Amino acid sequence: MRGNDRKQGELFSYVSLETRIPQDHPLRPIRTMVDQVLARLDRDFEEMYAGTGRPSIAPERLLKALLLQLLYSVRSERMLMEQLDYNLLFRWFVGLAMDDPIWDVTVFTKNRERLLRGDIARAFFERVRAHADQRGLLSDEHFTVDGTLIDAWASLKSFQRKDAPPSTPDDPGNPTVNFHGERRRNATHMSTTDPQALLYRKGDRQEAKLRYQGHVLMENRHGLAVDGCLTAADGYGERAAGLEMIGAVAATRRITLAADKAYDTRDFVEALRLLQATRHPGYEVSQQKRKRIEEIFGWLKTIGLMRQTRFRGRRRVGWMFVFSLAVYNLVRIRNLEACLV
């Protein structure tokens, strides 16, 4: 019998959001972990907000929304608000009821800036790392370090001479810029859109772009990120960032550190020996496992929206880079625990 195609919608719904989400949905264990992590950040949130005044967006809901944006590769916060308006899965994950109004995108962005000033991304990352450590998923003796380039949210047209007088463009939205034959360097030029982004070329005969450089320290047991940071793409930050990240874990015991040939310099190796990062039977295994760090970079760039950042300024880009690493760890922990069941 053919069904009825009635156009009139139902006035009331007696099915809750909780029952609409399948019990085996992969977001369920991730939401459980996120709730546990956010509960440990309650004191940090209290210190960021005043006791009186107009209530803002709950930081727990704001972070959950940003997490969804990375997991589902939603390319803008405006589109994220649109998804939260009609996507029941998104509403359930964030903690919104079906009738709750959605925030204005400008209000959402302003509240995100408050979290940026409080460095909540680093605290969130550390709580996720502690969560993995409690489950015995982290190695404390075998590590890998590597870096990756992140394109800045600025075009080459904005890379202009620092001492050039201001000019009136022919088209303010898309001005005509002729830099043919001009030698442009970071010492003499600067981006007017993102002054902290530097012109960097990955190798010979490759295109130079305005970029930042992200660095990750990975433990080799399950491929989880245990530290991360962002530096200027000046070609010298890789080894300095690697030593800074490995220094905290090498202070108490002997470890191994795997890396590619970019780190094979006399100063870097001597510094590692002072930190008890030396060769022993586990070093060969570390060199085999180090390639797994490319899985982190691949996830960050294909899913985590970090191939080209949507933010400007090293602090904002670094905040999102560390937060993206925390989200990757959550997905990795969920997958590992699903395999162990």
Query: DSSP assignment of 95-147, as one string?
Result: T--TTPPPPPHHHHHHHHHHHHHTTHHHHHHHHHHHHHHHTT---SSEEEEEE
pLDDT tier for residue 278 given thresholds of 50, 70 and 90: low
Binned at pLDDT 50, 70 and 90, residue 305 comes out as very high
Considering the domain 139-153+211-312, what is its CATH architecture? 2-Layer Sandwich (3.30)
Grade residue 288 by pLDDT with cuts at 50, 70 and 90.
confident
pLDDT tens, 19-60?
899 999 999 999 999 999 999 999 989 888 887 778 889 999
Q: Which of 225, 204, 206, 228 is nearest to 215 (CA)?
A: 228
Which two structure tokens, joined as six digits, stand for 48? 């960021």
Predicted confidence at residue 3, as pLDDT, reads 61
Range(s) of the chain covered by CATH 3.30.420.10:
139-153+211-312
The 10s digit of each residue's pLDDT in 145-193 is 999 999 999 988 888 888 877 767 667 767 777 777 778 889 889 998 9
DSSP SS3 for 216 = strand
* Mean pLDDT, residues 216-233 taken together: 94
pLDDT at 341: 56
Q: Facing residues of 308 across strands?
A: 151
**Contact (CB, 8 A) for 263 and 233:** no
The pTM score is 0.90
Task: Give residue-wise pLDDT tens across range 237-247.
Answer: 889 999 999 88
Residue spans of alpha helices (H) in the chain: 17-20, 27-40, 42-48, 59-71, 77-86, 88-94, 105-117, 120-134, 237-249, 266-274, 282-289, 293-302, 314-340
68-96 pLDDT tens trace: 999 999 999 999 999 999 999 999 999 99
Burial per residue of 24-35, b for 16 or more beta-carbon CB atoms within 10 angstroms, e otherwise: eeebebbbebbe
The alpha-carbon radius of gyration of the chain (Å, integer) is 23
Higher pLDDT, 77 or 249: 77
Residue 143 and residue 253: Cα distance in Å, rounded? Answer: 13
SS3 category, 5: coil
Please say if the pLDDT value at position 1 is more than 70: no
Percent of the chain with pLDDT over 90: 56
Taken in order 69, 72, 78, 84, the sign of the CA dihedral is negative
